[in-house]
Chains A and B, each alone.
Chain A
Amino acid sequence: MTSEQISEGSRPHLLRGVKLKNDQVRKTWVLLAPERYLRLNAVSVDILQHCDGVAAFSSIVDDLAKKYGADRALIERDVRGLLVNLLEKRMLGL
């Protein structure tokens, strides 16, 4: 499973049993999965909130590039990086 698997039309979504949570105690967003949790920075939260299984990868990147007023290629690299990481951890579906 590599980054080639993510295509422009992929519709990424968190798998069942993987959940975003705004942790009031630690004052941070976390991603909860079986036996582990990851602390998320604001950009990662933003990316994952876009991954609703409906929006296509390309439109997620478009949205975020517009929102942050950043270079699309850079944003694409970040989004892809996060998603590949979660794919390898079996936390994400396409």
Chain B
Amino acid sequence: MTSKPPLAPPSALLAELTYRCPLSCPYCSNPLAMGGRETEMSTESWQDIFTQAAELGVLHVHLSGGEPASRRDLRELVAHCARLGLYTNLITSGVGLTRASLGELAVAGLDHVQLSIQDTVAKSADWIGGYDGGFAKKMEVAGWIAEEGLPLTVNAVIHRANVERAADMVDFAVRLGARRIEIAHTQYYGWALLNRSHLMPTRAQSEKAYAEVEARRERYKGQIVIDHVAPDYHAKYPKACMSGWGRLSMNVTPQGKVLPCHAAETIPGLEFWSARERRLADIWADSPGFNAFRGSDWMQEPCRSCERREIDFGGCRCQALALVGDAAACDPICVKSPRHGLIAEIAARDSAEKNEGFIPRRIERAREKSGV
């Protein structure tokens, strides 16, 4: 296990252009402490990062946030990526787009749009996203996307408040003309971890929703592609988080930090480098944070000698840290983890909570909390 294979180039770059967002989803994957507009990188810095990314071998650029449409230079960034031959995917809530701006993005060369929906029922959707009229706006945006002929993926995060309608989300996405849907049962990081006791469905609810969504695959074969992220806390094995730490993709924060995943900075003691100070290629190859959990040398038992080691890479580092206090431990979602019992305990306790009020995602609140 000591000889390392040559490092493959990254294929995807998630560009978190801004943390600003009109919505306040309680499961947002952004960190609890978020920098505001004044801390964001300039248009030129982002363009330089995309140029370096293309040279490094990145194929897909995911323009995300926060809400990427909060950036006035979105069109310029899309155009720049398109010139470089990068595949551009806009990950949006829809709020902040106009008919004209979407048209301009299409002309600039945007390849694909991923539109989030919070629920299939307007009232509930607006309550979850904390934005009145958000659902109606999304429906309007979906219509524009269809008019432009842009391919659409619908993204829906599943939790206690909408779990009964998980499969409806698929039917709904078909009606919107989506080619693809991502049904993601909530992954508990960032704001979702903070709100876990408000979001966790019961095991019975999760299993029913999971089965109903799976049953849609056959019904809609060739019509819509379903990407289904299983409910972690009710699973047997962990997910292959990020398809392996530092293996295929990188996240760049609005401030230029380059990370292996959204939550990586929650792990204390890891050193991450900034694209404001170093070349992307050097960060990918040499940043201590990226190298910390590459390959399998860092693994402990039971992962170290496990036959699934190359399938799930030991699960998620951030989850291992959050739940058992050691980022190099086996993800406790795994039945083989000595701490697996904890998961059922947490899931049962949190799903039994009656409190329905979320702590909404807010940049201001995060600042108060962290004293920034």
Residues of A within 8 A of B (CB): 1-2, 15-19, 21, 23, 25-26, 30, 32, 34-35, 37, 87-90
Judged by a CB distance under 8 angstroms, whether B87 is at the interface is: yes
Q: Which residues of chain A are within 8 angstroms of B85 by Cβ–Cβ distance?
A: 21
Query: In whole angstroms, how far apart are the Cα atoms of A26 and B8 in the complex?
Result: 9
B110 to chain A, nearest CB (A): 9
B179 & A90 in contact (Cβ 8 Å cutoff): yes
- Known contacts A21-B85, A34-B153, A35-B153; is-contact A26 B9 (Cβ 8 Å): yes
6 tightest CB-CB pairs across the interface, nearest first?
A1-B222, A17-B151, A25-B57, A90-B179, A32-B87, A34-B112
B225 & A90 in contact (Cβ 8 Å cutoff): yes
Q: Which residues of chain B are within 8 angstroms of A18 by Cβ–Cβ distance?
A: 151
- Known contacts A16-B151, A35-B89, A35-B153; is-contact A21 B59 (Cβ 8 Å): yes
A90 & B180 in contact (Cβ 8 Å cutoff): yes
A90 & B222 in contact (Cβ 8 Å cutoff): yes
B150 & A32 in contact (Cβ 8 Å cutoff): no
- For window 102-143 of chain B, which residues contact chain A by CB distance below 8 Å? 111-112, 114
Judged by a CB distance under 8 angstroms, whether B227 is at the interface is: yes
B89 & A34 in contact (Cβ 8 Å cutoff): yes
Within 8 Å by CB of A35, from B9, B222, B227, lies: B227
A17 to chain B, nearest CB (A): 4
Judged by a CB distance under 8 angstroms, whether B223 is at the interface is: yes
Query: In whole angstroms, how far apart are the Cα atoms of A34 and B222 in the complex?
Result: 15
A29 to chain B, nearest CB (A): 12
Q: Which residues of chain B are within 8 angstroms of A15 by Cβ–Cβ distance?
A: 151, 179
- Known contacts A15-B179, A16-B151, A21-B85; is-contact A87 B56 (Cβ 8 Å): no
Within 8 Å by CB of A89, from B56, B149, B225, lies: B225
Count of A-B residue pairs with CB < 8 Å: 58
Query: In whole angstroms, how far apart are the Cα atoms of A65 and B111 in the complex?
Result: 33
B222 & A88 in contact (Cβ 8 Å cutoff): yes
Judged by a CB distance under 8 angstroms, whether B75 is at the interface is: no
Query: In whole angstroms, how far apart are the Cα atoms of A88 and B221 in the complex?
Result: 6
Judged by a CB distance under 8 angstroms, whether B224 is at the interface is: yes
B87 & A25 in contact (Cβ 8 Å cutoff): no
A90 & B224 in contact (Cβ 8 Å cutoff): yes
B120 to chain A, nearest CB (A): 21
Question: Interface code B176-206, partner A: CB below 8 Å = 1, 0 otherwise?
Answer: 0001100000000000000000000000000
Q: Which residues of chain B are within 8 angstroms of A32 by Cβ–Cβ distance?
A: 59-60, 87, 111
Query: In whole angstroms, how far apart are the Cα atoms of A17 and B88 in the complex?
Result: 9
- Known contacts A25-B9, A34-B89, A37-B11; is-contact A16 B150 (Cβ 8 Å): yes
Q: Which residues of chain B are within 8 angstroms of A30 by Cβ–Cβ distance?
A: 59
Q: List 20 A-B contacts (CB under 8 A).
A: A1-B221, A1-B223, A16-B149, A16-B150, A17-B150, A17-B151, A21-B85, A23-B59, A25-B9, A25-B56, A32-B60, A32-B87, A34-B111, A34-B114, A35-B60, A35-B89, A37-B11, A37-B60, A90-B180, A90-B224
Query: In whole angstroms, how far apart are the Cα atoms of A15 and B152 in the complex?
Result: 12
B279 to chain A, nearest CB (A): 15
Question: Interface code B86-98, partner A: CB below 8 Å = 1, 0 otherwise?
Answer: 0101000000000
Q: Name which of A16, A19, A37, A87 has the most chain B CB atoms within 10 A of its CB.
A: A16
A30 to chain B, nearest CB (A): 7
A54 to chain B, nearest CB (A): 18
B343 to chain A, nearest CB (A): 28
Q: Which residues of chain A are within 8 angstroms of B221 by Cβ–Cβ distance?
A: 1, 88
Q: Which residues of chain A are within 8 angstroms of B87 by Cβ–Cβ distance?
A: 19, 32
Q: Which residues of chain B are within 8 angstroms of A90 by Cβ–Cβ distance?
A: 179-180, 222-225
Task: Please give me the residue from chain B that is nearest to A5 by CB atom.
Answer: B222
A34 & B9 in contact (Cβ 8 Å cutoff): no
Within 8 Å by CB of B59, from A17, A37, A87, A88, lies: A37
Query: In whole angstroms, how far apart are the Cα atoms of A19 and B85 in the complex?
Result: 10
Q: Which residues of chain A are within 8 angstroms of B224 by Cβ–Cβ distance?
A: 90
